[in-house]
Every structure is written in structure tokens, then in C-alpha cells.
């Protein structure tokens, strides 16, 4: 089975999915992840079906299967707090619209940060998130929501196997819920990535390995358990190249998409550039490439 690997790419108002596919191809990726607009805001432009059609022509020509393409929900959606009903309902409706946009784009998986419990306990947050998703699932069709494993920054929910399990247990339609692992987040939460198989054993016994539908493959700038969430380039962080290679090539995760969310090189300057072509090549060849001089 061929390795499915790509990175997050941009999706702009003018080129939309066609631009995303072109960017992914420039990295020699065979999948990609995108936000349907800004990561931080709820501004969304209308989807241009003609651009979508052209994007699919290009995907088919290059063997990119839409089942491997991932959408990411904007960060601002927070389904954890119910103290402000208007806000809670707004997020439910906005997330439902995002799922409709996925459907219009032919995409069937969307990654969601479960939420941050700012005005309630984690136990209440878990109830609120599951309740919100149950409503979203009655308002929409098909799209599967992948809860991301979080680093545990602030009051984030979904920072352990047990927390993710508590949410999933409360979901009525289990076919529409899955998990997206993130190696940086796992490391920053508590997981020792050098013992990844032990993590998978526990995940399998509590949730089931078939629920893992995507992995964000990032190194981390911080030590295990730091609860920081700062991504590093592959082989340039505390997890290290070999440990990340062992995640990507783990037999139990065969066939699922691996997505890089690593930082641009020189990211705070006008010379910032995306390293994904090199990172993808290094992962495919299992050989570290030192692209940062
Ligand atoms: Fe994420
Ligand atoms: Fe991530
Ligand atoms: Zn992160």
C-alpha cells in the first residue's frame, strides 16, 4: 500500500480547491489538508463549483483520492461552553455550515479541535461538545468529524485517550465520529512517542484503532508534557526523525493520511518558504534532509 502523505495547504477565495491541489502537487504530495477559509475567522466566500470541478480533474490525473483529503475546521469554533447559549448555538450552526461546505467540495472528513473549557468543568465540557455534535449530525449528512488529540494548552479538551473516549461514548451516530492524532500535541500532552505501540495498544482497547482516520505529523519545540503546542520541522524537535518515521510506517496505521503542519522556514520574515517538499521526500526515503541552513 502506498504511503499517503501531504501537508496543510492554502485555500484562497480566488483559486479555492484548484489552488490547494496545485500547491499539494508542488510538494509531490498525494493528499493534503485545507481550511475552507481563514483559520481564525468565520469569513467564508461562496464555493465556485467550476474551480472544484477543475480541481477534481487535476486530482484524478495525479491519483489524489478525495477520501484521503482532510478539511480542518477554523480554530474559533468552541463547542465546550454552554454558559452563553447564543454563542454555543452560533458555533453549532457555523460548524454545520462547514460540514455542508465539505459536502459541496466532495470532502468527507473534517478535523475539529474539541474545544476549550473556559466557563465550565471538563466533565461539563465533554457533555456540551458531544451534545453539540449530536445536533450537528442531525442537521448535516455524511461528513465524518475527526476529534483532534490536543496538547493540553490552557483548558483544552481532548488531551488524552480517556477524554476523547468520553466524548465519543456520548455520540449517537458513531459512524460519523473519528480521531485525528497529532504527534506534537501527543508529546506536549503526555505521550512518549518513542513507545508509540504502547499508546496504540491503549487506544485500541479503549476506543478502537479503526477510529484513527488521520495523523498530523509534526515534531515539537518543547519537552514531553509541556502543554505548549509549538510545532517543529520533522527531525528538528524533541520527538526526533526516527520516532516520527516509526509513527508513519507503523503497520497498524497503514493506508491513513499523514499530514504535515510544520512551520515555514524563516517564517517571520518575507523570505518564508514551505519545507513540505523536503519533509515529504525525507519521510518517503526514511532519510533525514537538513534543509535549514
Ligand atoms: Fe488542529
Ligand atoms: Fe494538528
Ligand atoms: Zn498544534
Is residue 207 very low, low, confident or very high in pLDDT (cuts 50, 70, 90)? very high
**Rounded to two decimals, what is the model's pTM?**
0.97
Overall average pLDDT of the 22-45 stretch: 92
Query: Which ligand is the nearest neighbour of the Cα of 228?
Result: 3
Ligand 1 centroid, distance to 269 Cα (angstroms): 24
The confidence score (pLDDT) of residue 39 equals 81
Report whether pLDDT(272) > 90.
yes
Query: Which ligand is the nearest neighbour of the Cα of 111?
Result: 1
The confidence score (pLDDT) of residue 41 equals 81
Query: Which ligand is the nearest neighbour of the Cα of 75?
Result: 1
Neighbours of 11 (CB within 10 A): 23
Is residue 42 very low, low, confident or very high in pLDDT (cuts 50, 70, 90)? confident
Ligand 2 centroid, distance to 261 Cα (angstroms): 7
Ligand 2 centroid, distance to 24 Cα (angstroms): 17
Ligand 1 centroid, distance to 179 Cα (angstroms): 11
Ligand 1 centroid, distance to 160 Cα (angstroms): 15
Question: Kind of pairing, strands 156-157 and 115-116?
Answer: antiparallel
The dihedral of CA 188, 32, 35, 120: what is its sign? negative
Contacts 24+ apart (CB under 8 A), 195-201: 196/243, 196/246, 196/247, 196/250, 197/250, 197/252, 199/161, 200/250, 200/252, 200/253
The three three-digit cell numbers of residue 199, written as one number: 499508546
The confidence score (pLDDT) of residue 1 equals 81
Overall average pLDDT of the 73-90 stretch: 96
The confidence score (pLDDT) of residue 43 equals 84
The confidence score (pLDDT) of residue 263 equals 97
Contact present, 110 and 99 (Cβ < 8 Å): yes
Residue 17 Ramachandran class (φ > 0 left, ψ -120 to 50 alpha, else beta): alpha
Contact present, 187 and 224 (Cβ < 8 Å): yes
Ligand 3 centroid, distance to 208 Cα (angstroms): 23
Residue 13 to residue 45: CA distance in whole angstroms? 6
Is residue 37 very low, low, confident or very high in pLDDT (cuts 50, 70, 90)? confident
Overall average pLDDT of the 261-284 stretch: 96
- Across the chain, what does the average pLDDT equal? 97
* pLDDT tens-place string over residues 220-235: 999 999 999 999 999 9
Query: Which ligand is the nearest neighbour of the Cα of 220?
Result: 3
Ligand 1 centroid, distance to 39 Cα (angstroms): 10
Query: Which ligand is the nearest neighbour of the Cα of 147?
Result: 1
Amino acid at each position: 500500500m502506498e504511503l499517503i502523505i501531504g501537508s496543510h495547504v492554502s485555500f484562497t477565495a480566488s483559486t479555492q480547491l484548484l489552488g490547494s491541489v496545485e500547491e499539494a502537487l508542488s510538494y509531490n504530495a498525494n493528499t493534503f489538508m485545507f481550511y475552507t477559509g481563514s483559520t481564525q475567522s468565520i469569513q467564508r466566500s461562496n464555493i465556485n463549483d467550476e474551480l472544484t470541478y477543475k480541481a477534481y480533474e487535476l486530482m484524478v490525473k495525479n491519483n489524489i483520492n478525495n477520501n484521503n483529503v482532510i478539511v480542518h475546521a477554523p480554530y474559533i469554533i468552541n463547542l465546550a461552553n454552554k454558559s452563553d447559549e447564543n454563542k454555543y448555538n452560533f458555533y453549532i450552526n457555523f460548524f454545520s455550515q462547514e460540514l455542508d461546505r465539505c459536502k459541496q467540495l466532495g470532502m468527507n472528513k473534517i478535523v475539529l479541535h474539541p474545544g476549550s473549557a473556559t466557563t465550565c468543568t471538563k466533565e461539563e465540557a465533554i457533555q456540551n461538545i458531544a451534545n453539540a455534535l449530536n445536533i450537528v449530525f442531525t442537521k448535516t449528512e455524511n461528513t465524518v468529524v475527526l476529534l483532534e488529540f490536543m496538547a493540553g494548552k490552557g483548558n483544552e479538551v481532548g488531551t488524552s485517550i480517556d477524554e476523547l473516549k468520553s466524548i465519543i461514548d456520548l455520540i449517537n451516530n458513531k459512524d460519523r465520529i473519528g480521531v485525528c492524532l497529532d504527534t506534537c500535541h501527543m508529546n506536549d500532552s503526555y505521550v512518549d512517542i518513542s513507545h508509540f505501540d504502547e499508546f496504540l495498544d491503549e487506544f485500541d482497547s479503549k476506543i478502537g484503532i479503526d477510529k484513527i482516520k488521520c495523523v498530523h505529523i509534526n515534531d515539537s519545540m518543547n519537552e514531553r508534557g509541556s502543554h505548549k503546542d509549538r510545532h517543529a520541522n520533522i527531525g528538528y524537535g524533541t520527538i526526533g526523525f526516527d520516532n516520527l518515521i516509526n509513527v508513519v510506517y507503523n503497520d497498524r496505521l497503514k493506508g491513513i493520511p499523514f499530514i504535515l503542519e510544520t512551520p515555514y522556514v524563516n517564517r517571520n520574515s518575507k523570505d518564508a518558504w514551505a519545507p513540505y517538499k523536503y519533509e515529504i521526500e525525507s519521510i518517503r526515503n526514511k532519510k533525514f534532509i537538513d534543509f535549514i541552513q
